[in-house]
Amino acid sequence: MVDFNLNDEHNMLRDAIRDFAENEIAPIAEQLDEKEEFSLELVAKMSDMNLFGLTIPEEYGGSGMDYLAYIIAVEELARVDGSTAATVAAGNSLGLGPVYYFGNEEQKKEWLPKLCSGKVLGSFGLTEANAGSDAGGTLTVAVQDGDDWIINGSKIFITNGSSEITGFAITQAITGKRDDGKKEYTCFLIPHGTPGFTTKTMHGKMMWRSSNTAELYFEDCRVPNSSILGKRGDGFKQMLSTLDKGRLSIAAMGLGGAQGAYELALKYSQERVQFGKKICKFQANAFKLADMATEIEAARWLLYRACWLHDNDLPFQKEAAMSKLYCSEVMSRVVNHAVQIHGGYGLMREYNIERFYRDQKLLEIGEGTSEVQKIVISRYIGC
């Protein structure tokens, strides 16, 4: 029997995070966006709400909740501000996740309690200047030297990569060739402060302007063999698994962002008067709002079903790609309609819908473009 009702724990979590987002994030989101300011104060407040490590077992300092709870949390943050949601999404999916799923016990005990506390963030170094959708185009190389590895290369567009509280970067590098002649990829957990490892914060972004985004540089960066995450040669599998789960959080950002944009448009249309009546009474606008509401509901249940599959240890990868594709593109359509309903005011920074319009575009690009999602889906359906 299919039950579409969320449990009390999920509903309480949603209410708590919605209240937090509206009272703590909304009043300063525009200011942070304008200044391109990453707020450590907000991170601390979200840490107090245990928004980092939601799905990690309590023995490592987490909350031990299911993946749907985490996705609801990201959704509610994105309903108010994409940058803040990105910090939590990357902190959990890209920072915590790989350590928990692939790290050895020593790495877990060293890093997971710090990450779950929110006092330390981790980043995931995959994308390079010439390796975006083609992750196999990685040029970063790690060469073994005795019991150490020497890493050279760079990464770009790394979320949470250079904040004051970022503790490490999980970095994929080429470590040789496999028996079949293909490149061997290995992931390394490299603490900040390691000689030869530097970061540079990226500015001038169109979207997620108050999220921390960085370039990572490795110049003869020497790390011990114990820095390998999991096993040598497992890097590509780890990357794919991380992206599968990460797609759910990006989908949640699309869903939450669409919900927030829809609510802004609905509220504005109920207040704005033209030709003697509220503009929501004009069929052109009413139909836009009806389409928005319908697509948001469809997106929500597609994503929640993908989470249910994950939480029940069932194959979820196809549905994760579908959710990421659909939710991000639903938000694209919703914000476009929402700006149109706002008219000229929708183009002004003083109206929040302008920020939602900018923030949306990243969702069709980050953690696999819409085109890549279609490739993934087509393979699952036998094409």
Both tokens assigned to 236 = 């590509």
Pairwise CA distance, residues 50 & 63, whole Å: 7
**Cα atoms found within 13 Å of the Cα of residue 200, Cβ hemisphere only:** 8
In three-state secondary structure terms, 46 is helix
- Biggest alpha carbon distance in the chain? 80
Of 36, 329, 364, 367, the catalytic one is 367
Residues 120, 123: Cα–Cα separation, whole Å: 10
367 catalytic, yes or no? Answer: yes
Tell the burial category of 118 from Cβ atoms under 10 Å away from its Cβ (0-12, 13-18, 19+).
buried
Q: Return all residues near 84 (Cβ < 8 A) that are at least 6 apart.
A: 21, 25, 29, 39, 42, 46, 77, 210, 211
What's at 220, amino acid-wise? Answer: D
Contacts with 253 (C-beta within 8 Å, 6 or more apart), sequence order: 74, 75, 78, 82, 85, 86, 89, 327, 328, 363
Crossing angle of helices 26-35 and 353-363, in 10° steps, is 70
Rounded-to-integer distance, Cα 195 and Cα 191, Å: 10
Give the integer Cα–Cα distance in Å for 242 and 22.
30
Residue 264 to residues 48, 278, 332: CA-CA distances in angstroms? 28, 15, 15
Active site residues: 367
